[in-house]
Chain A
Amino acid sequence: MKAAPFEYSRVADIDEACALLATDDGARVIAGGQTLVPMMAMRLARPTRLIDINRIAALSYIRLEDDALAIGATTRQSLVERSALVKETLPLLAHAVPHIGHAATRARGTVGGSIANADPAAELPLIAITLDATFNVRGGGKTSDIAARDFFVGPMVTALPEGAILAAVRFPVWRGDRIGVGFHEVNARRSDFAFVSAAAQVAMKADGTCERIAIGVGAVTDFPMRLDSAEQALQGTALDDDAVRAAVSQALAGIEALEDLHASATYRQRVAIKLATRAIIDAREHAHGRPPHAH
């Protein structure tokens, strides 16, 4: 299990990386490498050149930019996990990050790497979709933004333009007194890729009704999905258990779920309903300052 030969270039800034990408069709960017390196070891990926962006200091940061928390693409997942700022502004992300792999892979794995890799079961794409994150992309000397919803197009396939590099992720921060989040995932062993994952974030009003809600489900379809119809149905309600269940069931009815050795399509669809429901109820309770239910 040894990688095929390749050239190695360590770059100092993102434009240098883009320039190299442009000159070599087989080149690939390496960030944390926690997915790419095993693929290379099994020769399922065979880049001719690795462009190492780990040392671009300007790509590793966590900072508030207006109404969003911006995280540089090469920021280690472990840094996000430990960040007080993330805990305060993006509790949903803070909940999800410890579920990514193991401590040892989070120590190397980057935020941008996980998103660009676009595994259907990965946590960061799910959170990005759920929170309507924006991806800041650099290529051909220009910077542009792609909405998370437009970025994922298939399992391990994204809309990242040829020759471009993901530079940062901006997660909108919800402000208010009654923001609540919920996150659930299920897998065979606790640290495996999820069979199903679900994330919810709500903002509740003082009168107990829901002002704003975002619901995402991962690992069930080719890329994480938002439950738009459920969000619409639930907005303005008190998020009663039954209403939540009904809205989520409706939103997930008839989806084509993935199937593999570990879980059937019916399992994924059914459990997506359960976990999304739980995530919303947790979020509601969290918003009201109550401890989560035992599900």
Chain B
Amino acid sequence: MRIKLDINGTVQEVDTEPRTTLLDCLRDNLNLKGAHAGCEHGVCGACTVLFDGEAVRSCLMFAAQAEGTPIVTIEGVSPGPGELSPIQDAFCETHGMQCGYCTPAMVLVAHALLADNPNPKREDIVDAISGNLCRCTGYAQIIDAIALAAERLRGDNRPAELRS
């Protein structure tokens, strides 16, 4: 079936089977490899994308269901090739990762959290990432990264629409 997906601000048409998950569609049809398959049964969160601004698991949705809703993937987060968003930069500053497999999802969760709550307490951050498993880091430097990003973004005095 042919469907239209609104990904990172661009509407793209893809031809896919109904059974194709949004995760597989992003990876296989649209060559957006930043969403990762960790479990394909909804537990690990490695496949996270922003769906209408909320962090959701793309393995738990069929691509056909995603028509018409704006989706942001990790590829839509960088301001430009080779450039990092403040949140991505904070992850680099604290080394909030090791193997990088869970990382795009963690960055997206951080984006969703900070859009909603610019001043999160440590528990809020812990809770926000609790649906995303990381086997490498024990989460400490991810939590540090998000706290650092929040602090930096609060100091950001650019107009809201230019912040990320």
Q: Mark B57-71, 1 if CB is under 8 A from A, else 0.
A: 101111011000000
- Which residues on the A side are within 8 Å of B57 (C-beta)? 34, 104-105, 108
Any A CB within 8 A of the CB of B153: no
Q: How many residues of A contact B (CB 8 A)?
A: 30
Query: How distant is A105 from chain B, measured CB to nearest CB, in Å?
Result: 7
A8 & B59 in contact (Cβ 8 Å cutoff): no
Any A CB within 8 A of the CB of B131: yes
B60 & A105 in contact (Cβ 8 Å cutoff): yes
Q: Mark A69-83, 1 if CB is under 8 A from B, else 0.
A: 000000000100000
Mostly, the B contact residues are mixed
A33 & B131 in contact (Cβ 8 Å cutoff): no
Query: How distant is B126 from chain A, measured CB to nearest CB, in Å?
Result: 10
A8 & B1 in contact (Cβ 8 Å cutoff): yes
B45 & A37 in contact (Cβ 8 Å cutoff): no
The CA-CA distance from A50 to B62 in the complex, in Å, is 10
Name the residue on B nearest A35 (C-beta): B42
- Known contacts A78-B54, A104-B48, A191-B131; decide if A6 and B65 are in contact (CB<8 Å): no
User: Contact check: which of A4, A54, A104 meets B55 at CB < 8 Å?
Assistant: A104
- Which residues on the B side are within 8 Å of A54 (C-beta)? 65
Residues of B within 8 A of A (CB): 1, 17-19, 21, 24, 40-42, 45, 48, 51, 54-57, 59-62, 64-65, 109, 127-128, 130-132
13 further A-B pairs in the complex, CB-CB below 8 A; given A52-B65, A107-B55, A108-B60: A6-B19, A10-B65, A33-B61, A33-B62, A37-B59, A41-B59, A50-B18, A50-B62, A103-B128, A104-B132, A107-B56, A190-B130, A191-B131
